[in-house]
Chain A
Amino acid sequence: MDYVLHILTLICLFSAIAVSLDLLAGHAGLMSVAHSAFAGLGAYGSALIAERLGVPFVLSVGAGMLVAAVLSALVSLPSLRVRDDYFVIATFSFQMVAFGIFNNWIDLTQGPFGVTGIRKPLILGWEIDSPLELFLFAFILAAFAHVVVAYLTHGPAGRVLHAIRDDEDYAQSAGVNTRKIKILIFAVSCSLAALGGAFYGSYISYIEPRNFSIDESILILLMVALGGAGSLFGPAVGATVLLVVPEILRFTGMPSDIAFNIRQCFYGAMLVLIILYWPKGIMGRVRLGR
């Protein structure tokens, strides 16, 4: 039962991160391959602030989100002049720099050894530590991320985002300050990813750079592509499929290092096949990144 709850908790956490990427890539047309870096900023930021400053869980998570939102401006401010492929390259560069910092700034992040002993969430004296409580907390967090994304993608705000995605010049001619909106939506998306990352660190109690590598960013992107960009629950469906399939591989008795490599090949092949033959994924409304 605990194993099932663990998988469900991970599905909720990855759904929250994937739906935050969908806000950016599916709804605003800004394809990013740096989302695990922003989740990592939330995880490291929250864990280190809680550990070194003794700040309560909620405040440390808020600080982690703030760090991610502020640093998102490092990507968005200079790179919003460029579009499409060049924006992807800018986010890729940020991903590599962030990973380099997680891995090499040993005084701060303890490098490849990672940050250990991260405390479980403690809210108003209630320590959330049983598998069921942790799952419920992850579920609430995923629901919160979905509500934020639903709010921002419906009504007037949604129209603005979708117009930017479809044709930025058209949106500008309608009176939309596209530059400001893109910076804001990038910050919101990255801080939601940081929220997922912060809770992931607290849930697993240990984070290391590999948790937030380009492989993980591709995995999150694949969740959106498979589930369907621009649909509220598509990323959650993608997260479910992509977290359950590797678990099935466990029961084949395959050595874990081989299973890991097969999983990476499976993710890469799937991303190529989806983009070529199934661009709207399972329940998507638009092609990813347009």
Chain B
Amino acid sequence: MKRLLCENLWKSFDGTVAVEDVDIEIPLSGITAVIGPNGAGKTTFLNLLTGFARPDIGRIVLDDIETTGLAPHRIARLGVARTFQEVRLAVSISVIENVLLWSENRGSRRGRQGIPAAARRLRGKANRRNAERILDMVGLEDHAAASAGALSYGQQKLLSLACCLAMDPKVLLLDEPVAGLHPEMTLKVLNLMRLYRDQGKAIVFIEHDIGAVRQVADGLVVMDHGRVIHQGVPEHVLQLREVIEAYIA
């Protein structure tokens, strides 16, 4: 089975341990939620997976390819797409250009070299059609030509998700995808996540909204003080005393 494997990951910043001996296996299908109180090390864990932080010890293997210590762009090209806790976009370019950026840079560099001009034009057209389809899917088709910086916060979150989908990644890593969204928008994001899962893809997401976790997660990882304290199915894990105490504390 395809999987994302983390072996004995450690990461500290100036002597403060942010991730401590994380040793987990996440299947590359279905939706896995990562929860935990503030400061539990969830975002650092995501940064380790995506190359934005380098583990002090340990290794990360994605679908039999070791990604430990690779640069973020190389990990992205191996099929790992991510969003950030605070929305990050190229705000001065248009909505559709943001989506195109992700379509155009996916896959291996070698695969894009030496392509004849005619094939490049065809690929360019295919990328644009793909971008339009994805904007249609997330409901931003009417804003395609607008500047990304002009969108509302919720629309920018949707655009971040659309960008990731344009890359057609093996695994989608989302950092608090519904934080700060109104209920209608939250429902939309959760539906998009389900849709992506139903295509046989994997999503790992960090979330504080336990209601959202219950709605979409197939698996759950609980972190506290940098450690994974439980992993399993949400219905079971969310009833564990240690998990409830960690959250309330």
Seen from chain A, the residues whose Cβ lies within 8 Å of a Cβ on chain B are 156, 159-160, 162-163, 165-167, 169-179, 230, 285-286
CB of B111, distance to nearest CB on chain A (Å): 12
A175 near B105 (CB under 8 angstroms)? yes
Closest 4 CB pairs of A and B: A175-B105, A163-B90, A175-B76, A172-B72
B90 near A173 (CB under 8 angstroms)? no
Interface size on B, residues (CB 8 A): 29
**CA–CA, A230 to B93, complex, Å?**
11
A-B contact list, 5 entries, CB within 8 Å: A163-B98, A167-B90, A169-B88, A171-B90, A173-B84
B79-116 interface bits toward A, Cβ cutoff 8 Å, 1 = contact, 0 = none? 00110100011111100011011101110010000000
**CA–CA, A165 to B93, complex, Å?**
11
**CA–CA, A175 to B91, complex, Å?**
17
Using CB atoms, name the residue of chain B closest to A287.
B92
CB < 8 Å A-B pair total = 81
Q: With A174-B102, A175-B105, A175-B106 known to touch, is A159 a contact of B77 (CB < 8 Å)?
A: no
**CA–CA, A124 to B209, complex, Å?**
73
**CA–CA, A167 to B52, complex, Å?**
14
CB of B43, distance to nearest CB on chain A (Å): 13
Majority SS at the chain A contact face:
helix
B93 near A169 (CB under 8 angstroms)? no
Q: With A169-B52, A170-B90 known to touch, is A178 a contact of B73 (CB < 8 Å)?
A: yes
Using CB atoms, name the residue of chain B closest to A165.
B92
Q: In the assembled complex, which residues on chain A have CB atoms less than 8 Å from the CB atom of B106?
A: 175
**CA–CA, A163 to B109, complex, Å?**
18
**CA–CA, A285 to B147, complex, Å?**
12
Most A C-beta atoms less than 10 A away, residue of B89, B97, B105, B124: B105
B77 near A173 (CB under 8 angstroms)? no
A174 near B97 (CB under 8 angstroms)? no
B84 near A174 (CB under 8 angstroms)? no
CB of B117, distance to nearest CB on chain A (Å): 13
A166 near B90 (CB under 8 angstroms)? yes
Query: Is B220 located at the chain interface by the 8 A CB criterion?
Result: no
A166 near B76 (CB under 8 angstroms)? no
Q: In the assembled complex, which residues on chain A have CB atoms less than 8 Å from the CB atom of B98?
A: 163
CB of B146, distance to nearest CB on chain A (Å): 15
**CA–CA, A156 to B100, complex, Å?**
8
B77 near A167 (CB under 8 angstroms)? no
A174 near B92 (CB under 8 angstroms)? no
